């Protein structure tokens, strides 16, 4: 495994063009700024979130993620497809586009969440 720089800072707001700036301390001790595009930021976030979730599944409590309060769920019909339409307090409506496999997992996890909520109420 090679030697890597260490992130030491991230600007809280992107540049006017959407570019994000990360401050890194190199192995030699030099501090540099690394710019990455909005598309790269999304990819980085996706990879980090997947890694955090995988680590959580192995080790412990759920990390802190943004929360969406879901008020309603319905179906969204498109050209030859049906997806989930979700209404949230924070962003309004969003369509969840998912494979059949992922929809099955959503159903399974929703059933598990309901069962755990029921078990906790029974214990109280």
What integer best gives the mean pLDDT of the chain?
A: 87
| The pTM of the whole model exceeds 0.85 | no
Tens digits of per-residue pLDDT, 7-29?
A: 999 998 999 999 999 999 999 99
DSSP state of 7: E
Domain locations in the chain as residue ranges: 6-59, 70-123
- Other beta carbons within 10 angstroms of residue 34's beta carbon come to 12
Sign of CA dihedral 59, 40, 3, 23: negative
Tens digits of per-residue pLDDT, 60-80?
A: 666 677 889 999 999 999 888
Distance, CA of 44 to CA of 14 (rounded, Å):
15
């Amino acid at each position: 495994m090679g030697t890597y720089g260490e992130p030491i800072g991230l600007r809280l707001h992107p540049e006017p063009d959407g570019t994000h700036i990360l401050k890194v301390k190199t192995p030699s001790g030099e501090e540099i700024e690394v710019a990455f595009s909005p598309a790269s930021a999304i990819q980085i976030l996706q990879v980090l979130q997947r890694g955090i979730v995988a680590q959580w599944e192995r080790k412990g409590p759920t990390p802190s993620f943004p929360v969406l309060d879901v008020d309603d769920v319905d179906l969204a019909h498109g050209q030859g497809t049906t997806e989930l339409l979700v209404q949230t307090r924070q962003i309004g409506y969003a369509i969840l586009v998912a494979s059949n496999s992922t929809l099955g997992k959503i159903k399974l996890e929703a059933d598990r969440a309901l069962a755990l909520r029921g078990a906790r109420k029974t214990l109280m």
